[in-house]
Structure 1
Amino acid sequence: MDWAKYRTTTFDELIQADGQPRPAARRLVEYLGGLSGREIAERQLAADVIARVMGITFTVYSDGRNVDRTLPFDLIPRVIPLTEWTRTEAGLKQRMRALNLFIGDIYGKQQIVKDKVFPAMLLKDSVNFREQCVGMQPPLGVWAHICGSDLVRDGDGTLYALEDNLRIPSGVSYMLENRMVAKRVFPELFETSSILPVDDYPAQLYDTLAALSPRPGDTPAIALLTPGVFNSAYFEHAYLAQAMGIELVEGNDLFVADDDCTYMRTVYGAQRVDVIYRRVDDLFIDPEVFHADSVLGAPGLMRSWRAGKVALANAPGAGVADDKVVFAYVPKMIKYYLDEEPILPNVPSFLCHDAKERKYVLENLDKLVVKPANESGGYGMLIGPRSTKRERDKFRKLIEADPRNYMAQPTLALSTAPIVTDDGPSPRHLDLRPFVLSREDIYVTTGGLTRVAMEAGSLVVNSSQGGGAKDTWVVDMSDEGMDGESD
């Protein structure tokens, strides 16, 4: 692989401005530089075949066909030095402590609202606030047990938190499969480099779920509740259930009895379920409480949860903090609940419910990224510098009609990393989604899912819109003399 012509106009994760590899990536860059174009192409093809055989798929909605495709995997991993990751991990743990305290407060005394740190009007107009959760105290005081926080790096190298996904974060199975593919394609590097492992995640997730069981001391019965095979992330649901050795169920496999316990229908008869890892949205989990016509959940599930007979992860109502407007208040939450300064800064945000900030947004639509509060997957956004006048006029009307529902952020010069192309390595923008598990302690994956825009210049990395993925290597440079991974 020829690096001589590789150029990028922003911070690159592998190559420095002077064209030299970053210290943590030096071994990888030198190794790739010793491979011919044909050898690189053969390894990329091998990676694609492995991914296809493993069934690593995601539904792409942006082309209107809604079909499953193999998740594009790029051969060249992202590399992060352990010294940097240690600080990032601490920042993620800090955010999750504050966010769980915020959710518990919102469904309890709402002290943060009374103290006027968090605006009451934002809570009043929150589409993810659930009245049915008021007064609940879930096990361990944790509401968001699984979080996928999106991180981005600006052109000057600063790492920012972009958003926190607290409802039903997805993508961790792709992180795990990416590592399996990379090990098969680069066995030499895993033998000679100190790349920290990620494959303990299923065991960590199982322990997190098991800790929630209402019957401590017994081996808990845990199930993963999926909407079914037509869900875009069904591959992940099946993968995680198998990896943890738990049951994969749909709504009609569950029922709640008169004793308020939740049971699973099996060939051996009804079996009580202690913990449900739900991959179904709040509004569809219980037709007795939310959408009456939903067949994705089970009648009485909320009653069972409120009675303490079954644990739900993530807890219903956790999405009150999964709101791009609420996101802007996380630094204040950290200061309010923890009396600490944020370790990870937020991407600067402008909130359209504030008249002054709204005026700025409306005057600078061509320069900003505008996001609705509760969309996901990169949908419903305006990327100002690449928008048309018609698109900006449309968003102007949307913002003026419902200012609480919109926020804006500057268009960052997102960092890049090289991908394999027919013309050699070429830079593409990317982000990073580490996964955080909250229980009595907090666990953070070493690295996470690196999502990469496969089109030159594109800022859209979401898998559901055609983005791809890379393996993420957290490298312990102080331990380079030891054998590779311990997983």
Structure 2
Amino acid sequence: MVNLENQIFSSYKRNPVLFDEIFDKKGQVKDVYSKLFNLYGEHSIKDYVNLNEKAKSSFFNQGITFQVYDKKKTEEKIFPFDLFPRIIPPEEWNIIESGAIQRSRALNLFLWDIYHDKKIIKQGIVPMELISSSANYLDQMNKVDPPGGIYNHISGTDIIKHTDGQYYVLEDNIRCPSGVSYVICNRTALKRALFGVFNHYKTYSVTNYAENLLDLLETVKPKGVDVPNVVVITPGMFNSAFYEHSYLAKTMGVELVEGRDLFVENDFVYMKTIQGPQKVDVIYRRIDDAFIDPLEFKPDSSLGVPGLFAAYKKGNVTLANAPGTGVADDKAVYTYMPEIIRYYLNEEPILNNVHTYHCSRPKELKYVLEHIENLVIKPVDEAGGYGISIGNRLSKKEIEVVKAEILLNPRKYVAQPIMSLSVHPTYIDKTESFEQRHVDLRTFTVLGKDKEFVLKGGLTRVALKRGNLIVNSSQGGGSKDTWVLKT
């Protein structure tokens, strides 16, 4: 029975046009949320304010931060966290999980193909021009066989729930997908603040991610290695995701290193230690391709390791993710994902793509230019929500600026209809009340040799600004704990 005198939700205003994840069309609390709704309703607003402050203090004390960049300054912020969790029933999670695995498998096969036989290109399914013009396509990876045959060891799939109640994939992230540490820290913070709520639901753990990640990374060790030495390489403490780099290294029980801590000798990689050089076999890298090896890529890079790519090409070290994977999370390649899945797996896509226009195609470019006010314009190679323009939020002058940018380089842009992301009750500090806010979900899939794992939870990201559809933390977003229920 739902408590209708629930104080902390008393001022919640529901927009019936939006898909609310806890309230149905009649304004009734959905069964899966009824216990949670009542449990939270036992607290007063004053109680909740105190609990919210406790959670923020927990994040601050743990150093759970991220950095936001703009043209004028770089600012470090505490990662915003909302104490009211999102619940995903088992039948819905089965669709999400199987769809995420399907996409990761297909993308891995696609990457092998475009760097080897290029069958999908020769058969006219994906144009070579699309691949060769991608800023993330590396000629140096042609004919290179990654250990274990895996390119995208870690994939982040961004998924939304639309007003039709169906799940859609917005984009695939397989260069250096971030955010998994926040999934685990969200769970820890919620347990510290409101431990009792977990007694009423059977949810999957999210704290086993590091253990599974290490296990799968060890399956792609170089040939001839029995017990691989794994490290995490970071650009350093000023990187926006440094907290995550250090957290994952610590929870996996491996060393966190920078480029200056490693060196290459006779095409093998070694780590400098006070006991002398130690051979390194698997590197989970959080450094972009261009910076990993100054001898092969960006010559003035001080972040990478001279000779690292030569060691990789000879199969003496595993790099996760493999160099050149970024070509497959190019948002222009995303438009071909249904065909890619059918071609390599002979399966129908489990998760829907959002209809996407690629501006390099003349007819689609014409449509985009004529209908910008109804579209979301995205650069194909940006991350973190940077460079996105939402047509119905632009002035006439701003629309003309966007048109000019597209015409200057059509290959760089795709456009999608403005999708109405589902909404979830979210506590807003300024009003000290719950309000509807748009959410998405980033799932994390790990591929190893003959092994795979999807974290049963993922990162629910929240657009904290009213009406905003961009959920990235760099654009003012926060996150929620995500509960996947057991059957």
TM-score under structure 1 normalisation? 0.95
> Is the Cα contact below 8 Å between 2:233 and 2:259 reproduced in 1?
yes
Residue correspondence of structure 1 range 314-329 to structure 2 within 5 A? 314-329=321-336
Q: Structure 1 residue 66: deviation in Å? A: 1.0
The answer as to whether partners of 1:10 and 1:156 remain within 8 angstroms in 2 is no
Instruction: Specify the SS of the correspondent of 2:84.
Output: coil
Q: Distance in 2 between matches of 1:195 and 1:450?
A: 15
1:470 is the counterpart of 2:480:
yes
**Does the alignment pair 1:275 with 2:276?**
no
Map of 2:54 onto structure 1: 46
Residue of structure 1 in register with 2:3 after alignment = none
CA displacement at 1:62 relative to structure 2: 4.6
Question: 1:419-452 CA deviation, whole Å, 9 max, x = no partner?
Answer: 1133421011111101000112221111201111
- C-alpha contact (below 8 Å) 2:162/2:420 kept by paired residues: yes
1:400 counterpart letter in structure 2? L
CA distance in 2, matches of 1:218, 1:141: 18
C-alpha distance in 2 between matches for 1:47 and 1:2: 17
1:303 aligns with 2:310: yes
Q: Structure 1: where are the runs of 5+ without partners? A: 479-487
Q: Which residue of 2 aligns with 1:340?
A: 347
Q: Deviations over 1:362-399 (max 9, x none)?
A: 00111100011101111111110101222211221122
1:217 shift after superposition: 5.8
Q: Secondary structure at the match of 2:446?
A: strand
Distance 1:187 1:63 in 2: 42
- 2:238 and 2:343 map into 1 onto residues whose CA distance is 42
SS at match of 1:294: coil
Aligned pair partner of 2:217 in 202, 209, 215: 209
- Is 1:433 aligned to 2:439, yes or no? no
Find out whether 1:194 has 2:202 as its counterpart.
yes
SS of the equivalent of 2:352 reads coil
Aligned to 1:227: 235
Structure 1 partner of 2:90: 82
Deviation, 1:361, is 0.4
1:150-190 deviations in whole A, cap 9, x for unaligned?
11111221110000101011000011100101111221111
1:3 paired residue number? 9
Which residue of 1 is the match for residue 337 of structure 2? Answer: 330
Structure 2: 5+ residue stretches without partners: 1-6
Whole-Å Cα distance in 2 between the matches of residues 254 and 391 of structure 1? Answer: 47
Counterparts of 2:240 and 2:302, CA distance in 1: 17
Query: In the alignment, does 2:467 pair up with 1:457?
Result: yes
Question: How far apart, CA to CA, are the structure 1 residues paired with 2:414 and 2:126?
Answer: 16
Q: Tell me, yes or no, if the aligned pair for 2:89 and 2:485 is still in contact at 8 Å.
A: yes
Contact map agreement 2:465 2:476 (CA 8 A) in 1: no
Q: Percent identity?
A: 46
Separation in 1 of the partners of 2:138 and 2:223? Answer: 26
Which of 359, 363, 383 is equivalent to 1:376? 383
Q: In the alignment, is the contact (CA less than 8 A) between 2:222 and 2:316 conserved in 1? A: yes
- Secondary structure (helix, strand or coil) at the match of 2:287 reads coil
Is the CA contact 2:292–2:304 (under 8 Å) kept in the aligned structure 1? yes
Residue 40 of structure 1 aligns to a residue whose secondary structure is helix
Deviation at 1:3, TM superposition (A): 2.9
How big is the shift at 1:465?
A: 2.1
1:26 match: 34
Q: Tell me if 1:447 matches 2:447.
A: no
Tell me which of 169, 174, 198 is aligned to 1:166: 174
Residues 24 and 475 of structure 1 are in contact (CA less than 8 Å); yes or no, is this contact kept in structure 2? no
Alignment of 1:125 with 2:133, yes or no, is: yes
Cα displacement string for residues 242-280 of structure 1 (whole angstroms, at most 9, x for unaligned residues): 0001011101111110x2100111111111000000000
Q: Residues of 1 paired with 2:79 and 2:435: CA distance?
A: 19
Alignment deviations for residues 22-72 of structure 1 (CA, whole Å, 9 cap, x no partner): 222221111112221111111111111111111110112258431211101
Matches within 5 A, 1:476-487: 476=486, 478=487
- Closer/same/farther in 2, CA of residues 65 and 38 from structure 1, 3 Å limit: same
Paired with 1:447 and 1:140, the residues of 2 have a C-alpha distance of 27
- How many residues are treated as equivalent by the alignment? 476
For residues 200 and 389 of structure 2, the distance between their equivalents in structure 1, rounded to whole angstroms, comes to 45
Aligned-partner SS, 1:272: strand
- Return the offset for 1:220: 1.4
Instruction: Report the residue type matching 2:30 in the other structure.
Output: R
Query: Residue 88 and residue 156 in structure 1: after superposition, are their counterparts in 2 closer, same or farther (change >3 A)?
Result: same
Matches of 1:159 and 1:57, distance apart in 2: 30
Contact 2:175/2:329 (<8 A) preserved: yes
Say if 2:216 and 2:452, in contact at 8 Å, map to a contact too.
no
Alignment partner, residue 481 of structure 1: none
Give the deviation of 1:5 after TM superposition: 4.0
The code of the aligned residue for 1:370 comes to I
Alignment partner for residue 178 of structure 1, among 168, 173, 186? 186
Indicate conservation of the 8 Å contact 1:365/1:392, yes or no.
Answer: yes
Query: How far does residue 124 in structure 1 lie from its aligned partner after superposition?
Result: 2.1
Distance in 1 (alpha carbons) for counterparts of 2:405 and 2:71: 24
**1:175 match: secondary structure:** helix
Q: Distance in 1 between matches of 2:482 and 2:93?
A: 11
Counterpart Cα distance in 2 of 1:63 and 1:227: 20
AA in 1 matched with 2:446 = L
**Deviates further, 26-35 or 372-381:** 26-35
Q: Identify if the C-alpha distance between structure 1 residues 279 and 459 changes in structure 2 by more than 3 Å, giving closer, same or farther.
A: same
Distance of 2:456 and 2:214 partners within structure 1? 17
1:449/1:472 contact within 8 Å kept = yes
